[in-house]
Amino acid sequence: MKVAVVGHVEWIEFGRVDRVPSAGDIAHATDFWEEAGGGGSVAAVQLARLAGSCTLYTALGDDGTGEWARRDLERLGVRVEAATRNAPTRRALTFVDADGERTITTLGERLQPSAADHLPWNELEHADAVYFSAGNVGALLEARRARILVATSREMDLLVEADIHLDAVVGSLRDPAEDYDPAALSRPPDVVVRTDGARGGWFETAEGRSGSYEAVPPPGPVVDTYGTGDCFAAGLTFALGTGMRLQQALELGARCGAWCVSGSGPYGRMLSAADL
């Protein structure tokens, strides 16, 4: 199975704290680490764990941070196809509190791929499924070459501008930046999925069918919620690409999210093909 992600990369510094500091406070991390993150990175690694490999179409800065991110993702099994920008690679600081909740502060502008970049876009014609998390309109049109295309509702304005058919749109009910406006798209996606963490989520199809799905209990204590939604989206993308029915695809997405929260960082405990 051939899968890909069109999206963004960030270099994340994580700190585990008892609680996120209030204004004027100082928090002392009991553990800290850094690795490649961002929606594109996390989804690509999750897809690689499920499908055996995944190509990430992205953009990186012409700095050491960009090179660190590339090497980290390649170590995790992702083939990185990246345009180089004359700009710093975006970084982020992430607090993970005692309940496993993450709080993120981004540093710098997001770098994203463009259709004008000299990337192997033609290979997407042979892709079974692609997840789109960031890029310009042209990059989204290139992603549509795939048999199945899933996109995040975080890019709602871009989806409206592109005016293409989408197999699925997925976003969080809890994040205002991922609100979905059903009246905005002239071509309704086959399915819209709204996640709601431990409460599961709901879906609505273009045919008017709607319903909910249950959250999957994690295989261990909740450790870190960073990347949970991206893992869900990747699992849903993989499942739709294999031809699973919608309810099965939602369950697989929920399993991916549940496994993610039980590990430290987004890659600490991801669902893999061996777990299926």
200 domain residue, yes or no: yes
* Residue spans of the chain under pLDDT 50: none
276 domain residue, yes or no: no
258 domain residue, yes or no: yes
What is the reported pLDDT for 182? 84
What is the reported pLDDT for 168? 98
275 domain residue, yes or no: no
CATH classification at residue 262: 3.40.1190.20
160 domain residue, yes or no: yes
26 domain residue, yes or no: no
What is the reported pLDDT for 174? 86
Contact 223, 262 (CB under 8 A): yes
25 domain residue, yes or no: no
- Tokens representing 161? 């501008």
Instruction: Tell me which residue range forms the domain holding 239.
Output: 3-20+31-270
What is the reported pLDDT for 67? 97
Sign of dihedral through CA atoms 23, 26, 29, 32?
A: positive
pTM above 0.75, yes or no: yes
Q: Count how many domains the chain has.
A: 1
154 domain residue, yes or no: yes
